[in-house]
Amino acid sequence: MTTDQAKQLAENALSALIETLEKGQSEALRNYLAAMGRFRSYSFRNCLLIASQMPDASRVAGFQTWLRLRRHVRKGEKGTVILAPMVGRKRVDEDDLGDTDETRVFGFRAAHVFDISQTDGEPLAEFAETKGDPQDFTERLILVQRQR
């Protein structure tokens, strides 16, 4: 998929959201807001793209990121298209103060991400859970919190 096709897909998803909201249906907005909650590091446009292509996605990452996490994308899986920024450095000459590098976005390109359901491999680390009776530790935590 080309960058222009990905941009058009994002525009279509936004138009569909607007249409459903104008009809008084807020379910689509709730779905997009839930996607934004799951993918906090992604832009609104990329959240729209992910939610419109794979509504059940829970954790997405690029191919190489899954490999670093010791997981691999199953053969034949189709990626979800997002718009990834193309970042470059531009050398700026300052008056007798030396050279500095300035980072800026030159544009966007179509990139593919995959959901965890499309991968196999080692399980991801999970948050620790506490179990058992807290006894009097709850009161201690409240006291510590008040002292701050």
Q: For the chain, report the end-to-end CA distance as a whole number of angstroms.
A: 53
Instruction: Tell me how crowded residue 81 is: count the other CB atoms within 10 A of its CB.
Output: 22
Q: Both tokens of residue 30? A: 């709730």
Contact 80, 60 (CB under 8 A): yes
Q: Report pLDDT for 129.
A: 80
Report pLDDT digits (tens) over 23-44: 988 888 888 899 999 999 999 9
Give residue-wise pLDDT tens across range 82-137: 999 998 887 666 555 555 667 888 889 999 999 999 999 999 888 878 777 877 78
